[in-house]
Structure 1
Amino acid sequence: MTDAGLELQRQLQALTDRFAERLSLELPELARLAGFVHSREPEALGYLGEIRERLHRLAGSAGTFGFSRVGDEARLLEQRVDAWLEAGQSTESSLDQLGRDIAHFAEQSPAAPSARTPETERLDSHGEAGGTRIYLLEGDPDAATGMVQTLGNFGYEVSHFATAQALAEATARQLPDALIVSLSQDDDLQQAAAIQPNLQTPLPLLLINDRDDFDSQLAAVRAGAQGYFTRPLDITRLEQRLEHCLNQQQGEPFRVLIIDDDLELATRYSLALRSARMQVEVLGEPGRLFEALHNFNPEVLLLDVNMPGCSGPELAQTIRLNDEWLRVTIIYLSAETDITRQMAALVKAGDDFITKPISDNALISSVFSHAQRARSLSNALARDSLTGLLKHADIKEHLAVEVQRAQRSGKPTSAVMLDIDHFKKVNDSHGHAAGDNVIRALANLMRQRLRRVDSLGRYGGEEFVAVLPNCSAAQAKRVIDEIRERFAELIFSADDQRFNVTLSAGIAETAEGMRPNDLLEQADRALYSAKHNGRNQVRLAE
């Protein structure tokens, strides 16, 4: 087990030990309250509500920490209390028996927690994501040379293998970040697919084939392919799919906010989700909700249904009053098993209902699928459909945020305006589909070459804006010049014609008191200067 796995196991065991201490205090208190019930004290009915809440919490949390018997028995007793309270006509003898059964349950020593191992270790097996390593299986040497060069211009480290056997041997020595397999022999697909079952996390697999029929694509899906392309190959589309697959596997962690008054249980969930590379914050006070939403910007909210002072559905409805948080997925967490009550909570506000206790893997799977949909929805609303970059208004908003941050920190932010040279000629000569391909290729290239902290937007048509925080204009020029050179080397094809395209760019750097629009106007003037002086160059604002 890795050091990270051992640390996770240590933290989980510490939480289990703390929960055991909590049981040693809660169970005697539950026995004391049950004593009032079965001894027919006048306040017996008044204590039933508190007993029900204590049983409810145990039913939801005990199983998560390994005390399965305690959780199961607590759930059965909670259901009996509910039935007694709802009937309203039960005899005193049935109430007396209920009190005795609760007291008997609470007076038993809980069994030691069942042995658990961290189900949730999800450590990246591909090393650091600095240079993205791609293994390419291609039997045609000329096709392989072109793909290696083009993908290299996009920033990938590509290793070419002529046979499936050589690919399998290389993968056994060192894992790549993704596989691209060009099918030329009948057993190429089977040999490439055979690599995956032995891996902790399957690799993104893209296939290239001559055939475009249903059976071939079905076979690709069964082999674990996440992309399927036919010859002649549109390598720009292949690179875009490759980037999408890698972003899913190596992209920014999903952000999850947990709101639960049971902090030990919330911490347990947090550890499980963090082990799966999610970013998690825990909030025990609902009153700090909006502060947490603004500061953390979660994609998924895990919300306990029963909390003192404010129920989960009430909190969810409060969130839904604000349009800016409509994209947040709300998942209720509760020991409630009554489907009618679950549906009532979902109807008011919410997207899913998870019943406690839940295993680590089940929790991760549920949260991951919801977070993935939430991010896809957010991207669809904020990003350009052709390039996946931020839209005009959104990149201007990012620019404003970074300019304000630069004014506070005193560190420079650079704004870059880029424009594709003679783009109208590309559309007129090769068609709008080819023009779209060029735009998409430049967007993909910039995403690969810039940092995660940089913001990229399609400003309009063939014009782009990049915002580079903590970056001087001189530093930005070196980066953008490299992108310009790489872009000029890309080879595009349309109607059996091959062609190249260039770009021009202008760069401006923040200064004291400068407004976002001023910065953008300076970059735009520098871009005009680059165009006016011959194009295919990068100019700094004067």
Structure 2
Amino acid sequence: MAEQHTPTSELQRQLQLLGEQFAERLAQELPELANKAELLQAGDHQAQLQQLRGLRDQLHKLAGAAGTFGFASIGQRAHELEQQAIHWLESLRLKDQGLQEFIQQLQQFAAQGVQGEPAPNSPAHPKATLKPETDTHCIYILEDELSIGENMCLTLGNFGYHAEHFSRIADFDAALQRRLPDALIIDVNLGDSEQTGLAYAAALQQRLVQPLPLLVITTEDDFATHLEAVRVGAMGYFTKPVDIPQLENRLMRCFAQQQGEPYRVLIVDDDQHLASRYSLILRSANMLVEVLDRPAGIFAAMSRFNPEVVLLDVNMPDCTGPELAQIIRFNDDWLRVPIIYLSAETDITRQMNALIKAGDDFVSKPIADNALVTTVFSRAQRARLLSIALSRDSLTGLLKHADIKEQVGIELERAQRSGKPASVAMLDIDFFKQVNDSHGHVAGDNVIRALANLLRQRLRRVDSLGRYGGEEFLVVLPDCPADQALRVLDEIRQRFAELHFIAGDSEFTVTLSAGIASTEAGAKDAGELLERADRALYVAKHGGRNQVSQS
């Protein structure tokens, strides 16, 4: 029977192969160290200094890499000898008796060779693995006040979720036996219940195989309740009356962390064996990784790959890690990208100097696989959340005005190169001022949020969505002719008109109008395409609203 290779066994096989390759490298490098040590005894002062610098650099690399591949004793001994080399370089007294002892220690170290086989660390499997994407997220709400729970259900339904409301713990438990939801919303105070919502949530999360995203709603706004919510694993805390668009925004962030695109990591290290191992470990944890062994290629790599984290070796020939970090920081577009130094350097002063120049974290080699994944994952996660917060509209989560306009130009250029048509649509909520005047701005925010989510659900991943103005949206549809765009937008228009909104004791519906422009009719620039879409929207508005027009 043919041997079956699971992802874990394949990873172990590749790690073993890298370990064997590194062992072969050690078998070549250690005799080279002995030869260089011998040369320290000959030549003039400058030649000795140059030879000692080369030894220091080689020992530094061995100190960082050997432990990673399972040769802990070799790594530790290389680090000790590196510190002695630094001492002799700083003192510049190369004729002292102590230098002869250092040379003998180097020769003994090289003569010992490789002791034992490498024992690679077990591959890391962080908890934050990608979850299969579903069309509709299921939310369970435990809220003893019927009106609040039902209103939350209706609003989340308009936002595209399947929400179910329960007023008693027993009914909530029964529903959990039938189906586990994607997230929980639990009220802290449950009226006549013998236990609080937080106490129930704590017991529930402990009995689940994997805890569910939990949002807490309450009338309490004190520190003690906040702390208790954190301790039961809450990912959001909302005081009544609940701002439902804000609550839904937090839900979306929770799901985005679970289902988002893989994090992109750029490794810059001239040690190819070590970089290959780091790459393998990070890729096994669902990350996209590129390796760069020449610092001079940083501009092309940053622009093409758009990394969310950069791992930099501190000591590289021709350009150090801190120098390269400063070059990266010259570009404002890359200011948000975390830079993590990887080095065998243990001197705190040198580490701090590197971080002060540019950088966000310092990880000492050797680093365990799990520690590497955790460090990179946490930095990438925070960087992505920050990037989203800065580039996205806070209410809708869609691109801001300037960013969506930029997408129009990008798709126009792509359409002109490929010959495939692209369409641009402007959407506007009809009589939106009346919604705000009659039902209040909270209701208006719910309407805007509902349309944003409807667009996100009904359009493709490749489509770009943005909030162009107050109640106006801009949609960019690559590889989409005008007639297809018209059908898609008209379906969205019909679905939006079917949504029912509640504000106080009143219920209301809202419609939208849209205008479409396509590259099929030609356009010299993005401004012309936007102007044509705007004119088509004007035609739809003045033609009676609740319709889609195309230019």
How far the C-alpha of 1:225 sits from its partner, in A, is 0.9
* Residues 392 and 384 (structure 1), Cα distance of their counterparts in 2 relative to 1, 3 Å cut: same
Q: Which range moved further: 64-73 or 185-194?
A: 185-194
Q: Which range moved further: 64-73 or 87-96?
A: 87-96
How do 1:241-320 residues align onto structure 2 when only pairs under 5 Å count? 241-320=250-329
Question: Partner of 2:468: helix, strand, or coil?
Answer: strand
Partners of 2:463 and 2:478 within 8 A in 1: yes
1:406 aligns with 2:433: no
Question: Partner of 2:520: helix, strand, or coil?
Answer: coil
Look up the match of 2:547.
Answer: 537
Question: Partner of 1:415: helix, strand, or coil?
Answer: strand
* Residues 262 and 166 (structure 1), Cα distance of their counterparts in 2 relative to 1, 3 Å cut: farther
Query: Aligned partners of 1:257, 1:287: CA distance in 2, in Å?
Result: 14
How do 1:325-404 residues align onto structure 2 when only pairs under 5 Å count? 325-404=334-413
Residue 132 of structure 1 aligns to which amino acid in structure 2?
Answer: H
Residue 59 of structure 2 aligns to which amino acid in structure 1?
Answer: L
How do 1:495-506 residues align onto structure 2 when only pairs under 5 Å count? 496-506=505-515
Structure 2-normalised TM-score? 0.87
Look up the match of 1:112.
Answer: 117
Look up the match of 1:16.
Answer: 19
Query: Aligned partners of 2:15, 2:205: CA distance in 1, in Å?
Result: 30
Structure 1-normalised TM-score? 0.89
* Residues 125 and 53 (structure 1), Cα distance of their counterparts in 2 relative to 1, 3 Å cut: closer
How do 1:46-195 residues align onto structure 2 when only pairs under 5 Å count? 46-89=50-93, 92-108=96-112, 109-114=114-119, 116-120=121-125, 124=129, 126-137=131-142, 147-158=152-163, 176-182=181-187, 184=190, 185=193, 186=195, 188-195=197-204
Query: Aligned partners of 2:178, 2:23: CA distance in 1, in Å?
Result: 45
Pick the aligned partner of 2:529 from 497, 519, 528. 519
Gaps of 5+ in 2: none
RMSD, matched Cα? 3.1
C-alpha deviations, 1:405-442, integer Å up to 9, x for none? Answer: 12222333221111111111122223344433432333
Query: Aligned partners of 1:198, 1:217: CA distance in 2, in Å?
Result: 22
Query: Aligned partners of 2:331, 2:358: CA distance in 1, in Å?
Result: 12
1:475 aligns with 2:479: no
C-alpha deviations, 1:105-137, integer Å up to 9, x for none? Answer: 222223323353212355747434444344445
Query: Aligned partners of 1:104, 1:175: CA distance in 2, in Å?
Result: 63
* Residues 118 and 197 (structure 1), Cα distance of their counterparts in 2 relative to 1, 3 Å cut: farther
Q: Which range moved further: 314-323 or 113-122?
A: 113-122
How far the C-alpha of 1:262 sits from its partner, in A, is 0.9
Q: Which range moved further: 153-162 or 244-253?
A: 153-162
Query: Aligned partners of 1:233, 1:289: CA distance in 2, in Å?
Result: 47
Number of residue pairs matched?
A: 540
Partners of 1:395 and 1:455 within 8 A in 2: yes
Partners of 1:122 and 1:276 within 8 A in 2: no
Partners of 2:202 and 2:232 within 8 A in 1: yes
Query: Aligned partners of 1:270, 1:201: CA distance in 2, in Å?
Result: 28
How far the C-alpha of 1:213 sits from its partner, in A, is 4.1
Q: Which range moved further: 518-527 or 146-155?
A: 146-155
Query: Aligned partners of 2:177, 2:79: CA distance in 1, in Å?
Result: 49
* Residues 17 and 192 (structure 1), Cα distance of their counterparts in 2 relative to 1, 3 Å cut: farther
Residue 100 of structure 1 aligns to which amino acid in structure 2?
Answer: Q
How far the C-alpha of 1:182 sits from its partner, in A, is 4.5
Question: Partner of 2:311: helix, strand, or coil?
Answer: strand
* Residues 113 and 325 (structure 1), Cα distance of their counterparts in 2 relative to 1, 3 Å cut: same
* Residues 168 and 86 (structure 1), Cα distance of their counterparts in 2 relative to 1, 3 Å cut: farther
Residue 267 of structure 1 aligns to which amino acid in structure 2?
Answer: S
Look up the match of 1:33.
Answer: 36
How far the C-alpha of 1:12 sits from its partner, in A, is 2.3
Q: Which range moved further: 280-289 or 108-117?
A: 108-117
Query: Aligned partners of 1:125, 1:194: CA distance in 2, in Å?
Result: 26
